[in-house]
Copies of this chain bind each other. A is one copy, B any other.
Amino acid sequence: MEKSKTGEFHFVTESYLLDFRGRISIPMIGTYLLHAASIHAAQRGFGFSDMNSSHTAWVLSRLAIEMDEYPGISEKITLYTWIEEAGRLFTSRCFELVNAAGRPFGFARSVWAAIDMETRRPAPLDVDALNAYKTDRPCPIEKPGKITPVENEAPGEPYEVKYSDLDVNGHLNSIKYMERLLDRFAIEMYKEKAVSRFEIAYLSEGKYGMPLTFHTMETSPGKYSQAVCHEGKAICRAATTWQ
């Protein structure tokens, strides 16, 4: 069965998933993206179960989301996802979010790697299988880039990884990182502004019981850099632009 290269997914925003502004949050967008990525990959032979049978697992390495606006209640969202390219160790997957009127209101770029489930070391990707679905559909947002380290300048707020934070690999879940990072901004900021770009880099694995520190600093007007550290070493970085 020939599968089209671009996957198309449909969502309707639900009341109990909205934030206090009555808007979908960045972590919720992240959940939509992971859902689409997961099914798009599974339908093309390189999903979670396929990886699992070769004792490897997908690991999200980087993600950048740009939003022009945030949907409110009962809005229909169409999400497109496609593979931009695949190399030996990383593959990049793009996303486009379109509203009911057919207008794009958000884009995202993600970078994925595979790890060997025993050694937890990077595993080579099946480049040919991935590139068979590669398209040159445009994704008009900047690629995930370097995020300014702030752990030596901003004070560390302590956090401990808990049961609900853990994913099937026993590590801090990608979405939970987003929630914990976005929770460092005061509610007043969310009342006045919105995040126009959110970027996150997962550097190494956060485990249960690990004492972590969260560091947040404004690096230029409206731009914030964040670091999640374990024993002073960053395991995750994020950058947010507020407008």
A138-191 contacts to B, CB under 8 A, are 162-170, 173-175, 179-180, 182-183, 185, 187, 190
Whether A38 lies near B19 (C-beta < 8 A) is: no
Stretch from A20-28, A82-90, A102-110 contacting the other chain: A20-28
Whether A15 lies near B183 (C-beta < 8 A) is: no
Taken together as a complex, chains A and B put the C-alpha atoms of A74 and B48 apart, in Å, by: 9
Whether B35 lies near A14 (C-beta < 8 A) is: yes
Q: How many residues of A contact B (CB 8 A)?
A: 40
A202 is an interface residue with CB less than 8 A from chain B: no
Complex interface: chain B residues within 8 A of A22 (CB): 168
A209 is an interface residue with CB less than 8 A from chain B: yes
Given the interface contacts A16-B174, A35-B14, does A187 sit within 8 Å of B208 by beta carbon?
Answer: yes
Taken together as a complex, chains A and B put the C-alpha atoms of A209 and B164 apart, in Å, by: 21
Q: Report, nearest first, the 9 A-B pairs whose CB atoms are least far apart.
A: A15-B48, A162-B183, A164-B179, A20-B166, A18-B168, A20-B170, A16-B34, A22-B168, A187-B208
Whether B27 lies near A49 (C-beta < 8 A) is: no
Residue of chain B at shortest CB distance from A30: B16
24 A-B contacts (beta carbon < 8 Å): A14-B38, A14-B48, A15-B38, A16-B173, A16-B175, A18-B167, A18-B168, A19-B163, A19-B167, A19-B168, A20-B163, A20-B167, A20-B168, A20-B169, A20-B208, A27-B164, A42-B74, A48-B73, A48-B74, A73-B168, A162-B183, A164-B180, A166-B187, A187-B209
